[in-house]
Amino acid sequence: MRAKEPAGRAEIARSCGLSVQAVSNITEVLENDGLLRVVGQKTGVRGKPATQYSINPEGAFAVGIELRPDALICAILNLKGECIYKARVALDNAAPDMAIPAIESAISLAITTSNRDRVQLLGVGIVMPGPFGVSSQGAHDDAILPEWDGVNIQQVFEDALKCAVIVENDATAAAIAERVTGVAASIDTFCFIYFGTGLGLGVITDGHAQRGAFGNFGEIGHIITQAGGTQCVCGNNGCLETYASRLSAKRSLEEHGINLPDGFAMETLLADENPVLLDWIETASTHLSQAISILENIFDPETIILGGAMPDTVIDAFIARLNLPVGSVANRENRTIARVIGGSSGRFTAAIGGAAMIIHNTTTPSLALYN
């Protein structure tokens, strides 16, 4: 439905295998609920002109929250997937009794500011760094929220917010965002490599997100790309994350006396062709190439998207420097999409992804993916 818009009822019926009558009934309900609206008639062809229906962007909205150790990011997406609100709230700590009220008031503020009615709230998508429930034999990641260990996060938020809640990690949320509004709008099977503090992987197969048996799918940051390499916080050596993450860039630059407060600074350094940064990018690309090659071989995706909290220019620099094997299942003739492409990026990507999950869920024929 979302793909080709606007569309007539008979057209919708053909594309989703229902009878015209069924579509007619459904559109009637959706129109009454304000989720669909008539946007004209289709003329120019024979036959009775088709009444064209379109998603009503104002019909409903979803809130996305990214919870991090030091801050809270909030975004609102309308039904069409357009971002109509963004905000960041600093946090002393992210423990439940601090974070939950902060989230509640952030959502209230967001809804008021963007002039919406809470009745039209489809749900809240919460993005939190994983992994969850893992043995603490290895040291813990900086981005982790230990206070939430053992908490049934979805339940807690559903009780607190009194609406539908989905909890996911940043990479999966970003992947879904890409499908709802981004470059993957018409791609059913793809991988998304997410640059956060560390590195995450979100995979969509046939339009559905992969979650793993324990919700820890996609810990790609800790696959080892260099045996006996740099020591990682996880206790192993040579993890991808130690070469190709924001944190690793920060470290490399600091070793040469360069401070890296934020992504903007990185963009500037790249524009200035800073040799230390270029060197880091070169190394990171080598390791990313390995990871991408593994993903291609395992998932056979239509494409692999790179995005997240990393400047677009840096992501483009990675892609330009990738060195992917030629003898791969991904190296088909007649490709329509490149093997690796850039996706959405920026500080708000994960929060937008959170909201996108809700939109995706209400839009996609759910085969019990969540619930």
Partner DNA sequence: ATACTTAATTCAAGTTACTTGAGTTAACAA
Partner DNA sequence: TTGTTAACTCAAGTAACTTGAATTAAGTAT
Residues that bind DNA (CB under 7 A): 8-11, 17-22, 24-26, 41, 43-51
Q: Give the residue, chosen from 51, 54, 283, 328, that forms a contact with its own copies under the rule CB under 8 A.
A: 328
Binding mask 224-253 for its own copies (x = CB under 8 A): x--x----x-xxx-----------------
Q: Does 361 bind its own copies (CB under 8 A)?
A: no
Nearest CB to its own copies, comparing residues 234 and 350? 234
Mapping DSSP to helix (H, G, I), strand (E, B) and coil, where does residue 233 land? coil
Please report, for residues 107, 327, 352, the alpha-carbon distance to residue 324 in angstroms, rounded to integers and kept in the order given: 43, 9, 31
Nearest Cα neighbor of 172 from 203, 213, 143, 206 is 203
SS (H, E, C) 277-323: HHHHHHHHHHHHHHHHHHHHHHHCCCEEEEEECCCHHHHHHHHHHCC
Mapping DSSP to helix (H, G, I), strand (E, B) and coil, where does residue 324 land? coil
Cβ at position 362, least distance to DNA in Å:
14
Nearest CB to its own copies, comparing residues 76 and 305? 305
Cβ at position 53, least distance to DNA in Å:
8
Nearest CB to its own copies, comparing residues 188 and 262? 188
| Single-letter residue type at 156 | V
Cβ at position 94, least distance to its own copies in Å:
21
For residue 84, give both structure tokens: 């109509």
Cβ at position 3, least distance to its own copies in Å:
17
Q: Does 138 bind its own copies (CB under 8 A)?
A: yes
Q: Does 338 bind its own copies (CB under 8 A)?
A: no
Q: Give the residue, chosen from 155, 300, 316, 338, that forms a contact with its own copies under the rule CB under 8 A.
A: 300
Nearest Cα neighbor of 13 from 50, 62, 45, 42 is 50
Nearest Cα neighbor of 208 from 2, 361, 64 is 361
Q: Does 333 bind its own copies (CB under 8 A)?
A: yes
Q: Does 255 bind its own copies (CB under 8 A)?
A: no
Q: Give the residue, chosen from 210, 283, 362, 364, that forms a contact with its own copies under the rule CB under 8 A.
A: 210
Cβ at position 355, least distance to its own copies in Å:
24
Q: Count the site residues for its own copies by CB under 8 A.
A: 50
Q: Give the residue, chosen from 215, 258, 270, 346, that forms a contact with its own copies under the rule CB under 8 A.
A: 215
Cβ 293 vs Cβ 322: under 8 Å: no
Q: Tokens 């500011």 belong to which residue?
A: 113
Binding mask 80-119 for its own copies (x = CB under 8 A): ----------------------------------------
For residue 250, what is the enclosing H or E element? helix 246-255
Q: Which partner, its own copies, DNA, none, binds residue 242 by CB below 5 to 8 Å per kind?
A: none
Mapping DSSP to helix (H, G, I), strand (E, B) and coil, where does residue 41 land? strand
For residue 51, give both structure tokens: 């009444």
Euclidean distance between CA atoms 32 and 104, whole angstroms:
30
Q: Does 178 bind its own copies (CB under 8 A)?
A: no
Q: Give the residue, chosen from 212, 258, 265, 362, that forms a contact with its own copies under the rule CB under 8 A.
A: 212
Cβ at position 356, least distance to DNA in Å:
24
- Bridge partners (DSSP) listed for residue 78: 61
Cβ at position 28, least distance to DNA in Å:
7
Q: Give the residue, chosen from 19, 45, 368, 371, that forms a contact with its own copies under the rule CB under 8 A.
A: 368
Please report, for residues 119, 308, 359, the alpha-carbon distance to residue 350 in angstroms, rounded to integers and kept in the order given: 24, 7, 14
Cβ at position 2, least distance to DNA in Å:
17
Cβ at position 288, least distance to DNA in Å:
44
Nearest CB to its own copies, comparing residues 24 and 189? 189
Q: Which partner, DNA, its own copies, none, binds residue 300 by CB below 5 to 8 Å per kind?
A: its own copies
Cβ 174 vs Cβ 343: under 8 Å: yes
Cβ 13 vs Cβ 23: under 8 Å: yes
Q: Is the dihedral of CA 298, 196, 303, 321 positive or negative?
A: negative
